[in-house]
Structure 1
Amino acid sequence: MPHVVQFSGVREVELVETETQPLTAGGVRIATWYSGISAGTELTAYRGTNPYLTSTWDVDRRLFVPGEPTFAYPVAGWGYSEVGEVVEVADDVTDVRIGDVVHGIWGHRSEAVVPAAQVAGRVVPDAVDPVLGTFARVGAIALNGVLAADVRLGEQVAVFGQGVIGLLATRLATLSGARVTAVDTLAVRLAMAEAFGAVHTVDALRPGGAGERIRELTGGGADSAIELSGTDRALHEAIRSVVPEGLVAASGFYQGGAAHLRLGEEFHHNRVRIVASQISGVPVALGGRWNQARLVRTVMDRVFDGSIDAAALLSDVVPVSEVAGVFARLDEGDPNILQAVLRFDAAPERGR
């Protein structure tokens, strides 16, 4: 029987059996090899803090409103960074072939039936370790933040949070010609940021705050900042770090209140601009030319050609049967985890 990762309750995650999906017209069946865990988003389901679990998302009004949650436990099939082999195609499919190894979004499940259009053109090259395909979505999120921050050649950019997405943003901003100052609380991640191109690193816990130090290092402030840690304290320091009329791309998934965000100080007096960056849309000025497919294609071209050393971000590739242990470590804030990937039974030996 196929199986799927399921959040059964707060801090309860398990592998459960599921029904085999019938192949539909225009569809393909994929046997999953690898599925990357998105620590930020998926921990909100694991911890029970995701707003969809506590309120209703009104699609028409674009508001969260009190009432029955949009969904409740058990929640199955989360995950948006999958790689697998096409094992069956519908008769009307011509642009995807059996044997193709593709990357896409179908959740932490051992097999899936998806529209062929969803994975067409997303083939992992033979010379590339297929596990690198799991970086498509997180890379797209990072690039979306870089685009939202309007990064340009020669500008100073501060990137707050050097987890996987933050490190990818550091590398992408560097490739765009920016001089990056990386901010985090962990020395090991700051060292990784230097390897990914950061010219300066700042300990987020330093006395006086990261914003003050960034202004010193950049000779007056960063032109823009990208906040990816998802904490209100970091967002406040990002605001403090930029020049007058500077731009802050708030790309983190912020939970709860914002006790450390003070809008009557640097934000007000420096006329700082804040924009939200979220993967469901690209920056409005780029909407006619960019979309999610282009974000993915742009990032993966650079992963596949080696411009982005995504393999350096892989800290854990574990059997899917060990999913509970991985989430427990992420929940505890294990500093040794960067990108954790679940390996399914269909996956070949690494390097295929």
Structure 2
Amino acid sequence: MTTLLRFSAPKVVDVVDVPAPALLPGQVRVRTRYSGISAGTELTAYRGTNPYLTRTWDPEIRLFKDGESETPAYPLDGWGYSEVGDIVEVAPDVSGLSVGETVWGIWGHRSEAVLDASALAGHELPAGVDPLAAAFVRVGAIALNGVLAADLGVGSTVAIFGQGVIGLLATRFAVLNGATVIAIDGIPARRERALAWGAAHAVEPGGDVARRIRELTDGLGTDTAIELSGNYAALRDAIRTVGADGTVVASGFYQGEANALRLGDEFHHNRVQLLASQIGSAPNRLRARWDVQRMQRTVVQSLANGSVDAASLVTHRYRLDEAADAYRMLDADPSSALQVVLDFS
């Protein structure tokens, strides 16, 4: 048997035992060590607001379809996309992966998983890297993708809205790229962490944050902004924060109607370019050289060389049988945590 997390209904979390899948040719079995909870995407499934719950994504025409019978419904099993574990079994025809190796990947909140060996190619954890840090590879790639989309470098200024886990990782990568970072978050501890990770300034949202950032940039506004909170009011402020012909990278997972944006204001008058950043692919101008695998490898290299101390972002650990408490905490009081990890050890 294997144990997995199930969303049985909105805000109902169960832990269930299911038969362990057989190992087929070309596959490996991985026993989970850690699985990171996404306080963004996963909370939309927990709360019942995820668009996949009411509509169907058509990958051929790349549109959501309303009212189709094939839309998924509860229960939702094994959500999660930030796992790390140890290989415990390898099919006889598999080469390049061995029992005992620690790997990172995506297999959801479950005690073990059977995966195609090809899905774990290049996912071996380098010696000396804390396995806990490997739970940040995927979220690190999301952060890096936003930074790549913002086209940052020495002399550039960027406002990064939202200093949760992905926002802090984006702040760190932006600093490593040579940019001057202004971090925006309402939680003092997160602003302090952003400063410790190299942000030049950390300011509270609300009020006229765009005017305050104008004061910090000699009236120019920032060259770019990255919005990671998924909050429409923050996206509006990001649009107001950049200067004329500036770029806003929208990396959050936005839910519901976008009434707060006011696109006839600064967006229109300052000719702001608004880009969506999503982990499915690299920014357009970089796709000849960058892909998701390269972004993930870059994150692993940053963990290995010590330039990103991702493991320090873990604030809470729960056993799988305590997962309901973890989600209730994140839903009711998200400010109390950075990264929440399910610990299978």
| Interval of TM-score (by shorter of Structure 1 and Structure 2) | over 0.9
Q: Give the whole-Å Cα distance in 1 for the aligned partners of 2:343 and 2:312.
A: 18
Equivalent residue number for residue 310 of structure 1: 310
CA drift at 1:271 = 0.3
Question: Would you say the 8 A contact 1:141–1:165 is kept in 2?
Answer: yes
Equivalent residue number for residue 188 of structure 1: 189
1:258 alignment partner AA = A
Q: Give the whole-Å Cα distance in 2 for the aligned partners of 1:102 and 1:56.
A: 32
Q: Give the whole-Å Cα distance in 2 for the aligned partners of 1:192 and 1:70.
A: 40
Q: Which runs of 5+ in 1 are unaligned?
A: 348-352
Question: Would you say the 8 A contact 1:54–1:69 is kept in 2?
Answer: no
CA drift at 1:204 = 0.4
CA drift at 1:96 = 0.5
Q: Which runs of 5+ in 2 are unaligned?
A: none
Question: Would you say the 8 A contact 2:175–2:198 is kept in 1?
Answer: yes
Q: Give the whole-Å Cα distance in 2 for the aligned partners of 1:248 and 1:54.
A: 29
Question: Would you say the 8 A contact 1:27–1:115 is kept in 2?
Answer: yes
Equivalent residue number for residue 299 of structure 1: 299
1:205-239 superposed Cα distances (whole Å, 9 cap, x missing partner): 2x22x222111111211000000000000000000
Equivalent residue number for residue 133 of structure 1: 134
* 1:6 pairs with 2:6: yes
SS at match of 2:334: coil
Equivalent residue number for residue 57 of structure 1: 57
Question: Would you say the 8 A contact 1:145–1:226 is kept in 2?
Answer: yes
CA drift at 1:125 = 3.0
* 1:284 pairs with 2:284: yes
TM-score normalised by the chain length of structure 2:
0.97
Q: Give the whole-Å Cα distance in 2 for the aligned partners of 1:161 and 1:290.
A: 25
* 1:218 pairs with 2:205: no
Q: Give the whole-Å Cα distance in 2 for the aligned partners of 1:83 and 1:126.
A: 14
Equivalent residue number for residue 28 of structure 1: 28
CA drift at 1:78 = 0.8
Equivalent residue number for residue 75 of structure 2: 74
Q: How does 1:1-352 map to 2 (within 5 A)?
A: 1-67=1-67, 68=69, 70-205=71-206, 207-208=207-208, 210-219=209-218, 220-344=220-344, 347=345
2:285 alignment partner AA = A
Which segment is superposed worse, 144-153 or 222-231? 144-153
Q: Give the whole-Å Cα distance in 2 for the aligned partners of 1:318 and 1:126.
A: 26
CA drift at 1:300 = 1.3
SS at match of 1:288: coil
SS at match of 1:177: coil
Q: Give the whole-Å Cα distance in 2 for the aligned partners of 1:127 and 1:51.
A: 40
1:213 alignment partner AA = R
Question: Would you say the 8 A contact 2:129–2:303 is kept in 1?
Answer: no
Question: Would you say the 8 A contact 1:53–1:69 is kept in 2?
Answer: no
1:121-145 superposed Cα distances (whole Å, 9 cap, x missing partner): 2222342221111000000000000
TM-score normalised by the chain length of structure 1:
0.95
SS at match of 1:335: helix
Instruction: State the identity as a percent.
Output: 55
RMSD between superposed Cα atoms in Å: 1.0
Q: Give the whole-Å Cα distance in 2 for the aligned partners of 1:14 and 1:266.
A: 46
1:216 alignment partner AA = E
Question: Would you say the 8 A contact 1:52–1:69 is kept in 2?
Answer: no
CA drift at 1:163 = 0.3
Q: Give the whole-Å Cα distance in 1 for the aligned partners of 2:227 and 2:247.
A: 11
CA drift at 1:19 = 1.6
SS at match of 1:224: strand
Q: Give the whole-Å Cα distance in 2 for the aligned partners of 1:166 and 1:175.
A: 14
Q: Give the whole-Å Cα distance in 2 for the aligned partners of 1:89 and 1:100.
A: 11
Q: Give the whole-Å Cα distance in 2 for the aligned partners of 1:322 and 1:306.
A: 31
1:187-210 superposed Cα distances (whole Å, 9 cap, x missing partner): 1110111011100111002x22x2
